[in-house]
Amino acid sequence: MTTSTWAPEEFSARLGEIAELSAEMESAHPGEIISRVAGLVDGPAVVTCSFEDAVLAHAAATAVPGIDIVMIDTQYLFAETHWFAGEIQRATGMSLRVVRPLTVQPDNLWQTDTEACCRVRKVEPLNALLKGAAVWFTGVRRVDGPTRASAPIVSLDSVRNVLKVNPLATFTDEDIATYELLHGLPRNPLSERGYPSIGCWPCTRPVAPGEDKRAGRWSGQAKTECGLHT
Ligand code: SF4
């Protein structure tokens, strides 16, 4: 594999190398993945964090100090998540940018059309955020559910022409807990109250013991993803 940096306009010609890189990093630590890819690609990197936990933000801020860490504020995040993001920012000294929907005002779309609501509150802000970016680091994990079970470490998001990197793809829930313990990280208070997966308050409920961890997301609907990762 070449060691020169990769320019975004070359991504589509490097699919083999991207797959090779992804395979090489299957057992790498998240921080190692983040620093290696950020150093390999010639262009800006963005880290999107949902602040369900602090691991991605901590790993990114430690591996690449000053890296652009972003929270997409849908206007419907739990108060606990806002508080938690502030706690992590203070604890790590990370750079945290908050982006919001481009045009919408508070409305009731979550009650009438969750696909449209996620599109204007999550997908469109993400698309705007990634314009001009070369690398997108996400918190996707394979144990999140069937739609994410084969998520690679690195792939090309050909629609947005960014390298999509999932540094936590192989992390289990136990790995997350171990990382939090090792680094003395706080936890989102909702995780102690039956929320193993945390999104917007209108579309997230706590789950019962034994239920799938994402069963509380859009509960009662066929919807399982917000569209950021599909
Ligand atoms: S998760 Fe619910 S409230 Fe949040 S953007 Fe999607 S539909 Fe709207």
15: left (phi over 0), alpha (psi -120 to 50) or beta: alpha
> What spacing in Å lies between the alpha carbon of 105 and ligand 1's midpoint?
13
DSSP 3-state assignment of 16? helix
* Residue minimizing CA distance to atom 7 of ligand 1: 114
pLDDT for residue 228: 74
Among 149, 163, 153, 135, CA closest to 20: 153
Residue 25, pLDDT > 70, answer yes
As a whole number of angstroms, the distance between CA 186 and CA 45 comes to 25
Beta bridge partners of 157: 162
pLDDT for residue 3: 56
Please give the model's pTM, rounded to 2 decimal places: 0.93
Spell out the domains of the chain, with CATH numbers in brackets. Answer: 8-203 (3.40.50.620)
Residue to mutate (ligand 1; options 105, 122, 198, 219; most atoms within 8 A of CB): 122
pLDDT, tens digit, 9 for 90 and up, residues 41-89: 999 999 999 999 999 999 999 999 999 999 999 999 999 999 999 999 9
Residue with tokens 């136990």: 174
Pinpoint the alpha helices (H) of the chain: 15-24, 30-40, 55-63, 79-92, 109-112, 114-118, 124-130, 173-183
pLDDT for residue 4: 85
Sign, Cα dihedral of 129, 135, 141, 146: positive
Task: Report the atom number in ligand 1 closest to the C-alpha of 201.
Answer: 3
pLDDT, tens digit, 9 for 90 and up, residues 97-150: 999 998 877 688 999 999 999 999 999 999 999 999 999 999 999 998 888 999
% of the chain beyond a pLDDT of 90:
81
pLDDT, tens digit, 9 for 90 and up, residues 186-213: 999 999 999 989 999 999 999 998 888 8
Pinpoint the alpha helices (H) of 6-51: 15-24, 30-40
Residue with tokens 């739990």: 78
DSSP 3-state percent helix, strand, coil across the chain (nearest 5): 40, 15, 45
CB 56 within 8 A of CB 49: yes
> What spacing in Å lies between the alpha carbon of 215 and ligand 1's midpoint?
15
Q: Is 226 a catalytic residue?
A: yes
- Cα 27 to Cα 7, 37, 144, distances in angstroms: 25, 15, 18
Who's near 77: CB < 8 A, 6+ residues apart? 200, 201
Q: What is the mean pLDDT of residues 157-178?
A: 97
